[in-house]
């Protein structure tokens, strides 16, 4: 089953001076895949990830997520999809240093009206899965880079989303720590999540089941 299905996706920025970031992308990602999206700077790969994650909308083309069209959804409906169905992991972690790990991880649950139960218990359980239960009361700036990224992954998993989107998740880490993070994402994938990774590193892409290369706004399958 395709969880992500795109047909002829075009993205144009600007009105007077137009920049065509995506030039007719066709994309199919199946449930349970772990896919790398690679490409040089300016190729359109981050734009594509933003559209997959319902952060941005295409100028034209069709996009089906879990079999449902997202093209005409309202801003509130798109926000609900981002919160419930998609977990995001970023290169810069995007953690709040004024809060401990529990509060950082539970942040998506604040916007999840369907969540029932203890947010603290849910956070501790998910932190345990990423090896950070003993650090739950620490602030992010008390942790190493790898531990911060594990916290960000825990936050991405807290709402039990179908899809994890990771934008250069190892870009701020040393090689060995980066491998640890990719192995964690690989384990998450084995447990049934669809994982899509933006990366410039072929070694990271090698952990994925396949690679899609974006060149000049177009997808090249390899």
pLDDT of 196? 97
Question: Roughly how many angstroms between the first and final C-alpha of the chain, as a whole number?
Answer: 20
pLDDT of 114? 64
pLDDT at residue 152 tops 90: yes
Q: What is the distance, to the nearest Å, from the Cα of residue 220 to the centroid of all Cα atoms in its chain?
A: 21
Q: Positive or negative, the Cα torsion across 16, 51, 49, 131?
A: positive
Burial class (CB in 10 A: 0-12, 13-18, 19+), 98: exposed
List, for residues 80-128, the tens digit of each pLDDT value: 899 889 999 999 999 999 999 999 999 998 877 666 678 899 999 999 9
Query: Cα separation of 135 and 11, whole Å?
Result: 42
CATH number of the domain bearing residue 38: 3.40.50.300
pLDDT at residue 1 tops 80: no
Backbone angles phi, psi at 186, to 5 degrees: -65, -40
Q: What is the mean pLDDT of the chain?
A: 92
For 132, the domain range is 2-221
Q: What is the mean pLDDT of residues 148-163?
A: 95
Percent with pLDDT over 70 in the chain:
97
pLDDT, greater one: 206 or 15: 206
Query: What is the crossing angle of helices 119-129 and 145-157, to 10°?
Result: 130
pLDDT at residue 220 tops 80: no
- Strands of 68-69's sheet in order across: 19-30, 2-13, 60-65, 68-69
Q: How many domains is the chain partitioned into structurally?
A: 1
Range of weakest confidence among 72-86, 101-115, 158-172, 181-195: 101-115
Question: With contact defined as beta carbons under 8 Å apart, do 56 and 47 qualify?
Answer: yes
Confidence of residue 216 (pLDDT cuts 50, 70, 90): confident
List, for residues 203-213, the tens digit of each pLDDT value: 999 999 999 99
Range of weakest confidence among 69-73, 145-149, 180-184, 186-190: 69-73
Q: Which of 118, 185, 125 is nearest to 153 (CA)?
A: 185
Burial class (CB in 10 A: 0-12, 13-18, 19+), 87: buried
Task: Find where tokens 């909308």 sit.
Answer: 57
Query: Cα separation of 16 and 11, whole Å?
Result: 15
pLDDT at residue 222 tops 60: no
pLDDT at residue 221 tops 70: no
39, two tokens: 């490409």
Q: What is the mean pLDDT of residues 51-55?
A: 95
Q: Which of 209, 131, 208 is nearest to 170 (CA)?
A: 208
pTM: 0.92
Question: With contact defined as beta carbons under 8 Å apart, do 35 and 195 qualify?
Answer: yes
């Amino acid at each position: 089953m395709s969880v992500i299905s795109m047909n002829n996706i075009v993205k144009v920025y600007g009105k007077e001076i137009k920049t065509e970031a995506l030039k007719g992308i066709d994309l199919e990602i199946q449930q349970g895949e772990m896919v790398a999206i690679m490409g040089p700077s300016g190729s359109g790969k981050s734009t594509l990830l933003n559209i997959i994650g319902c952060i941005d909308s295409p100028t034209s083309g069709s996009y089906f997520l879990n079999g449902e069209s997202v093209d005409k959804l309202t801003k509130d409906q798109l926000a609900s999809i981002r919160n419930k169905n998609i977990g995001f992991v970023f290169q810069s972690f995007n953690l709040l240093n004024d809060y401990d790990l529990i509060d950082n991880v539970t942040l998506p649950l604040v916007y999840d009206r369907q969540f029932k139960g203890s947010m603290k218990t849910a956070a501790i359980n998910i932190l345990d899965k990423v090896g950070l239960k003993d650090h739950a009361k620490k602030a992010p700036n008390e942790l190493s880079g790898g531990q911060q990224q594990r916290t960000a992954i825990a936050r991405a998993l807290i709402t039990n989303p179908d899809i994890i989107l990771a934008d250069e998740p190892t870009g701020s880490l040393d090689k060995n720590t980066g491998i640890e993070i990719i192995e964690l994402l690989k384990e998450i994938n084995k447990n049934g999540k669809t994982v899509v990774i933006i990366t410039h590193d072929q070694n990271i892409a090698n952990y994925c089941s396949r690679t899609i290369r974006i060149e000049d706004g177009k997808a090249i399958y390899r």
